[in-house]
Structure 1
Amino acid sequence: MTASLPVMALATRTSPLAMAQALMVQARLAAAHGVSDAEAGFPILGLVTTGDQITDRALLDAGGKGLFTRELDRAQLDGEAAFAVHSMKDVPTHLPDGLELACVLEREDPSDILLTASGPGTLKSLPQGALIGTASLRRQAQALHARPDLQITLLRGNVGTRLQRLKDGPIAATFLAKAGLKRLGRPEGDWPGLDFAHSLPAPAQGAIGVTIRSDDDAARVALAPLNHAPTALAIAAERGVLEALDGSCRTPLAAHGVFEGDTLHLTAEVLKPDGSQRWRMNDTRTGIDTVEAARAFGLSLGEALRKDGGAAVEAILTGTGS
């Protein structure tokens, strides 16, 4: 390790995708600081999270957001790891006291891919009444909004598990994030993503974030070269939408922000779980150059969307609507 930095461990889940993402961060840290032995300088601490152990029911039934981060948070707070590497779409909007988001890598394509046993598909291409497997309420609602005839069944597990279920039938299709497939080096990652008109991504989908202890200045300095400001600002706005709408696993909502020059374009939507109604809004803002400003932008759009939906959206957010 360099003279200025101690050995710093990275906590991560042990799923193939999580490990691939941790290895990305490890390699970039080593390159940024001239460390020839990445594993010696930045060892990886693999942890099985509560969310990884639950495969037979929706996350909402098991406690919702935070199921994929609790054990990683604890490892940091206990001093076992300097960093925790996360898929940002799994991270709650409010981190535990003593932790902060210090780095966001440049985002990969955030779109969803629809996989069928015969190859890439679209919602329009599926046969009448086709059975889709997903554990995402957002994806369920978006699919039913576009195709009310479709049938939905619970499907959880890693990429290999889902692909095997497609081969075994009777599930006709499932959704996966394009970013995850690309990071795993799977050929499906080169398939076309679904149109955002029907399948707007989850807030912060496709982004990798790294948390640290708030009092760990050395970790903050180590991560600084890896941070991609446009991605960090875009996902801060998306997470602002999530925060305004009290986003949880029981809320079918989506948000996506993208910069064109110095203008941030932000789109957000809320749907009824059965897809029968959708509320979508978009806005643009120039001159956003801090995470706080981006979050405020997202909060304002989320609050406007909440107001636009009125009692119907409030019923969805409180779990009393269908």
Structure 2
Amino acid sequence: MPTLPTHLRIATRESRLALAQTHLVAETLRSRNPGLKVEIVGMTTRGDTVLDRPLSQVGGKGLFIKELEVALVEERAEIAVHSMKDVPMEIDAAFALTTFGTREDPRDAFVSAHFESLDALPAGSVVGTSSLRRECQLRSAFPKLQFKPLRGNVNTRLAKLDAGDYDAIILAAAGLRRLGFEARIRTYLPPALAIPAIGQGILAIEHLAGRDDIAALLRPFRDPATKHAARAERAFGLVAEGSCEVPVGALAHVAAGQLSLEAFIGLPDGTRVVRDAVRGDVAQDEALGRTLGEKLLAMGGREILAALQRANA
């Protein structure tokens, strides 16, 4: 077994949520490794500074991790902490990616100052969301509502809601819970209504490939069910071209050695959605993800992707 490091620098975004997640990782590592010195290296990514346009228009998920990866390459940090849903489906071979801890609640959350649920919103109500995935599924179910872009960190989005800019907003439940805002959640959106983003609620740790000492340090914190869920969902995303530009979602459940995976591909306006599920042995996590991806493409997903390519050309 390689000698474990005694000093660890963690690269992170400087949003309150990113810092909260990073401190959680740091404290967990310290608790299991007495004497380990942990230093947090905060930085701003392009995804944090470009707030006037949807992510789908400015480069997608990679905007939140590029600067952190540069810090790893330049040896200014040994690991970087990400929300798994912000990590592109493919990462450079120079890096290794692992899950950390048990998955937080993966569902989306409905937040509003005056209404209890999406069903309670009057026609024409304005709902804020930063996600084509959410917009696609919710437009399909609630065609009489207006969906408008919502960018910024969690605190900024809540402030915009409280200022009356929106009648309701949709956020990841995991972020609200990790920041202590669980009381703001009026209701959780069931996967039957809104399948979450790939990897939503999962913390991901990235480090340079070949760092066996870092891999050994992190290995005890890898929850098996979370690991298998992430592998299945991301394998689906690779086949389905999952990104901020394509409305897709996937959610895996692991129990009694079995993995069930449900997913969808759709158009942003919700006029066309294909959705299905698979189930199998947990050891076949990535194979199940690829199988479901190919299944949805054959059900009409290829035509949806082609339509999106034409629209974005």
User: What TM-score do the two structures reach when normalised by structure 1?
Assistant: 0.92
Structure 1 moving runs of 4+ over 4 Å: none
CA contact (8 A) 1:123 1:143 kept: no
- After superposition, give the CA deviation of every residue in 1:90-119 in whole Å (9 maximum; x if it has no partner): 001111231011333210000111111236
Note the residue ranges of structure 2 that are not aligned, 5 or more in a row: none
Match of 2:291 among 272, 284, 300: 300
Secondary structure at the aligned position of 2:260 is classed as: strand
CA RMSD of aligned residues (A): 1.7
1:83 and 2:74 equivalent? no
1:296 Cα deviation after fit: 2.2
Q: Which residue of 2 aligns with 1:283?
A: 278
Q: Which residue of 2 aligns with 1:254?
A: 249
CA contact (8 A) 2:265 2:301 kept: no
Q: Which residue of 2 aligns with 1:7?
A: 7
CA distance in 1, matches of 2:151, 2:302: 32
Secondary structure at the aligned position of 1:320 is classed as: helix
Q: Which residue of 2 aligns with 1:201?
A: 196
Q: Which residue of 2 aligns with 1:264?
A: 259
1:129 Cα deviation after fit: 1.5
Query: What is the letter of the counterpart of residue 77 of structure 1?
Result: V
CA distance in 2, matches of 1:133, 1:243: 28
CA contact (8 A) 2:236 2:250 kept: yes
Query: Where do 1:108-147 residues align within 5 Å?
Result: 108-118=104-114, 121-147=116-142
1:316 Cα deviation after fit: 4.3
1:209 Cα deviation after fit: 0.7
Distance 1:63 1:310, change over 3 A: closer
1:238 Cα deviation after fit: 0.6
Query: Where do 1:10-29 residues align within 5 Å?
Result: 10-29=10-29
1:221 Cα deviation after fit: 0.9
The alignment-based identity, stated in percent, is 37
Deviates more, 1:240-249 or 1:307-316: 307-316
Note the residue ranges of structure 1 that are not aligned, 5 or more in a row: none
1:220 and 2:215 equivalent? yes
1:4 Cα deviation after fit: 4.3
CA distance in 1, matches of 2:124, 2:65: 36
CA distance in 2, matches of 1:162, 1:15: 12
1:66 Cα deviation after fit: 0.3
CA distance in 2, matches of 1:62, 1:159: 20
Between the two proteins, the alignment pairs up a number of residues equal to 310
CA distance in 2, matches of 1:311, 1:176: 29
